[in-house]
Amino acid sequence: MTDITSRTEAALAAIGAATSLDALEAERLETLGKKGWVSLALKTLGGMSPEERTAAAPAIQSARAAIAEALDAKKAALEAAALEEQLARETVDLTLPAPAAPKGSVHPVSQVMDELAEIFADLGFAVATGPEIEDDWHNFTALNMDETHPARAMHDTFYFPDKTAEGKDVLLRTHTSPVQIRAMLAEGAPIRIIAPGRVYRSDSDATHTPMFHQVEGLVIDRDIHLGHLKWTLETFFKAFFEREDITLRLRPSYFPFTEPSVEVDVGYSNEGGRRVVGGHGDAPGHAWMELGGSGMVNARVLEFAGLDPTEWQGFAFGLGIDRIAMLKYGMNDLRAFFDGDGRWLAHYGFSPFDQPTLSAGVGARA
Ligand code: PHE
């Protein structure tokens, strides 16, 4: 009995003095562990007579309870102290400047594509896509350019050496117009889409790169006429350039897939060495810049795309995204767009937080 009392006191003292969780665990093993003296003492109760047991049990039980309670309390205290210590050690000085991190920016082409999507979404256009590796049926034939059509030669096409399983030539699409065909075949009419993306032509100088960007537009419905096309382009350019004095010139032209066809020019002037849209291209100090082609979708194209031209009609346009980006943001060499020069990107790039929205301004600068 006195043995148990003194051993319990010694154990409680050791627990109280423990300075680490390891030391505490050693003390637990020595007392309540399988081979600890408290556990062994409890085991002896089984071999006792009922009288002996009644006499011996309370002391052992209370020793066990006291030690278990002390162990729990000390463990909680040590853990709390360890947390305190860790928190003190890991304080962060919020007044320090942020460490220098590599900074990325949104390329002007991506920014302009987002701006386009935002403006056209507001006019009820959905965004459609198609493959950059096309077959010649979608890129040419279905757009009313059969194998012998001279316009094919003007496209400076990159061909792949292999053909498709059906024997069609495989190429890098030379314009976004094949997406018109794919969208009409997939969705039928009425339809209202834009298709921004990369296109490829074997051509290179200050204003031409072998890869560049276009946005295709297509509207098919029952009563669409050239007036809708003109209104749509004018409304788009006013929203895109964020000014009302945009003058467009629609020039008669020829594309196999539109009839009639018109080329779209915009008036601009040179201000402080920078081209700025606005004003009439024929006015003194002003000029016209060609931005793309457009027209009423040729009936043959509607037929290729599975639509009945006596029921459906519409317009299509294709604009050079890089050109309108240059005009809006004042770059003068197209090649710099694709050099990946960090200094150029730092200067002309956009903050990823600068999402174009119609309410906040589609082209707000970071
Ligand atoms: N696909 C033509 C081009 O790349 C542009 C265009 C698109 C013209 C749609 C008319 C209609 O030159």
Residue 177 in contact with ligand 1 by CB distance below 6 A: yes
Give the pLDDT of residue 221: 98
The residue ranges of the chain whose pLDDT is under 50 are: 366
pLDDT of residue 81: 92
Residues 43 and 151 in one domain: no
Q: Find the CATH number of the domain harbouring 135.
A: 3.30.930.10
Same domain, 150 and 295: yes
Residues 206, 316, single domain; the answer is: yes
pTM recorded for the entire structure? 0.71
Q: What torsion, rounded to 10 degrees, do the Cα atoms 163, 164, 168, 174 define?
A: -80
Indicate whether 179 and 303 sit together in one domain: yes
- Rounded to 10 deg, the angle between the 108-122 and 226-241 helix axes is 130
Domain identity same for 81 and 208 = no
- 239-285 pLDDT per residue, tens: 999 989 899 999 999 999 999 999 999 998 888 878 888 888 888 88
Q: Is residue 360 part of a domain?
A: no
294 CB less than 6 Å from ligand 1? yes
Q: Is 297 in the pocket of ligand 1 (CB under 6 A)?
A: no
Whether residue 53 is found in the same domain as residue 153:
no
Alpha helices (H) in 130-200, listed in sequence order: 136-139, 150-154, 178-187
Query: 64 and 121 share a domain?
Result: no
Q: 317 CB less than 6 Å from ligand 1?
A: yes
> Do 130 and 79 lie in a common domain?
no
Per-residue pLDDT of 181-193, as tens digits, reads 999 999 999 999 9
In the chain, the amino acid numbered 298 is: N
Instruction: Confirm or reject: Cβ of 155 under 6 Å from ligand 1.
Output: no
- For the CA of 293, the closest atom of ligand 1 is 8
Nearest CA, atom 8, ligand 1: 293
Nearest ligand 1 atom to the CA of 143 is 1
Would you state the pLDDT for residue 363? 64
94 belongs to a structural domain: no
Residues 161 and 41 in one domain: no
The pLDDT, as a whole number, for residue 366 is 40
Instruction: Give exposure, 191-218, as e/b (b: 16+ Cβ within 10 Å).
Output: bbbbbbbebbbeeeeeeebeebbbbbbb
Res 2: pLDDT: 63
Same domain, 210 and 337: yes
CB 37 within 8 A of CB 31: yes
Question: Do both 133 and 246 map to the same domain?
Answer: yes
Question: Which domain, by its residues, includes 183?
Answer: 108-348
pLDDT tens digits, one per residue of 81-129: 999 999 989 988 888 887 777 678 899 999 999 999 999 999 999 999 9
> What's the pLDDT score for residue 151?
76
To test ligand 1's pocket by mutation, which of 144, 257, 261, 324 has the most ligand atoms within 8 angstroms of CB? 257
Q: Which atom of ligand 1 is nearest to the CA of 297?
A: 11
Q: What is the DSSP letter of 218?
A: E
Of 83, 277, 126, whose CA–CA distance to 216 is shortest? 126
Q: With respect to residue 177, please indicate whether it lies within any of the assigned structural domains.
A: yes
Is residue 118, in this structure, part of any structural domain at all? yes
Nearest CA to ligand 1 atom 10: 294
Domain count, the chain: 2
- Of all residues in the chain, what percent are helix, strand and coil, respectively (each to 5)? 45, 25, 35
Residue 92 has a pLDDT of 82
For residue 177, give the ligand 1 atom closest to its CA: 1
Residue 285 has what pLDDT? Answer: 86
Residue 221 belongs to some domain of the structure = yes
Residue 73 and residue 124 in one domain: no
